[in-house]
Amino acid sequence: MELLYALTLGVLTMSGVYLLLRARTFPVVVGLTLISYAVNLFLFAMGRLHTGKPAVLGQVAEHADPLPQALVLTAIVIGFAMTAFALVLALRAQGELENDHVDGRGKR
């Protein structure tokens, strides 16, 4: 299971970096989103997945660590805000420059 999880993180990160290196705005935004998903999964893996154990409540000696879960929830909100801002910025740049290249030197 750990190998599958590590491969998933690697594929998400690799795909995100590849899309970040594209010259169009939409693939760059999708690449940023994929990298944020990979970071969220990585943070969640730091809490070591437990099944059948309570989060914090109860008198059980072993419980799941709530800190990575809180970090992932915070990262999801920040990632959503970043994606929305990047999309608005890309739409504004496309409206003003009349192209969707990241460097602004596309076809005119």
Question: Which CATH number do you get for residue 12?
Answer: 1.10.287
22: in domain: yes
43: in domain: yes
16: in domain: yes
In the three-class reduction of DSSP (H, G, I as helix; E, B as strand; rest coil), residue 54 is classed as: coil
73: in domain: yes
79: in domain: yes
Full residue range of the structural domain in which residue 36 is found: 2-48+63-97
54: in domain: no
Average pLDDT, rounded, for the chain = 82
Number of domains in the chain: 1
Is residue 10 pLDDT above 80, yes or no? yes
pLDDT band of 107, cuts 50, 70, 90: low
Question: Which pLDDT does position 15 carry in this prediction?
Answer: 96
Euclidean distance between CA atoms 57 and 88, whole angstroms: 42
Contact 65, 48 (CB under 8 A): yes
